[in-house]
Amino acid sequence: MHPLPPRAKAADVSQVLDTPPPSPAPADEDDLAALAARHGLTVSGARPSLPEYVRQLWERRHFITAFATAKLTAQYSQAKLGQVWQVMTPLLNAAVYYFIFGILLGTKRGVPDYIPFLVTGVFIWTFTQSSIMAGTRAISGNLGLVRALHFPRAALPISFALQQLQQLLFSMAALVVILLCFGVPISFSWLMAVPVLILQFTFNAGVSMIMARMGAKTPDIAQLMPFVLRTWMYVSGVMWSIDKLTSKDHLPHIVTLALETNPAAVYIDLMRYSLIDSFHSSQLPPHVWPAALGWALIAGVGGFIYFWKAEETYGRG
């Protein structure tokens, strides 16, 4: 055999050195998934199953309660009157509505116990309004908390709805005083206020979760909501009697049906029926209890599932 010339040997060595090592074959995704499962690894921020999500949320029930109480305590911490504003704010709103609607527009005519009628409507409506407004900002307004800690994000809109329920309970003490001052007697029907509040809280929490998901994706919705809620208030019979308006024949049936089945109006009318003896069952819309239950289930269950489906997206982007 003839030896290679020195120049040829140098070229072969250079070619070997310049050739990159063969890359390892990519690992199969199924193999990686099996390896992760074998060592108990899961995708970071992945959405849990619905039953698991409910279980995690139940485990954080003490956090939800404590967070709601802390937010309520801090709400008026800078005001000199402090927690008195929890009662004063809806009362002042009721006074304004009484002057404008009750006196100037005459909506109090033909409505017995108009001041208890009005104050009850204002307090119950404020509960819904405040819950939805707080829920709209539940994620977008707490991004630091969402990004720093791992917990079911539904805890935030639920805790804000619970905060508004606690505030309503403070206001109910003032409402009882007003009822007694205007001659409304204490009766066993007042106990019906408890299931009404439970149904309304479920409805409010569900809508809050819907708005929390929408607000997390589009924060500008929070700027639009005051106009939407103000319009909703005007058609919910807060300052006027839906029964007296719908008893007239000039309204189309579809309008009457929309006014009577309006969820805000349903809960307001049920609370008036529970607390005010002059507000009779004949003034309630047909099938009012099934309507109240149906709205609570539709909003509560539907809102919870709608919020859960976007769980892994909150706080990202």
CA angle (109 as vertex; 104, 112 as ends), nearest 5: 130
Q: Residue ranges of the domains in the chain?
A: 83-313
How far apart are the C-alpha atoms of 81 and 258, rounded to whole Å? 41
Structure tokens at 200: 């309304």
- Give the model's pLDDT for residue 13: 47
- Give the model's pLDDT for residue 138: 93
Dump the DSSP string for 53-72.
Answer: HHHHHHHTHHHHHHHHHHHH
Length of the chain: 317
pLDDT tens digits along 275-310: 998 898 888 888 899 999 999 999 999 999 999 999
How far apart are the C-alpha atoms of 304 and 311, rounded to whole Å? 11
Please give the span between the terminal C-alpha atoms of the chain, in angstroms, as a whole number: 69
pLDDT tens digits along 133-179: 999 999 999 888 888 888 899 999 999 999 999 989 888 888 888 89
Average pLDDT, the chain: 84
How far apart are the C-alpha atoms of 90 and 126, rounded to whole Å? 7
| pTM exceeds 0.75 | yes
CA dihedral 304, 306, 312, 317 (to 10 degrees): -120
Q: Report the run of H or E that residue 254 belongs to, with start and end.
A: helix 253-261
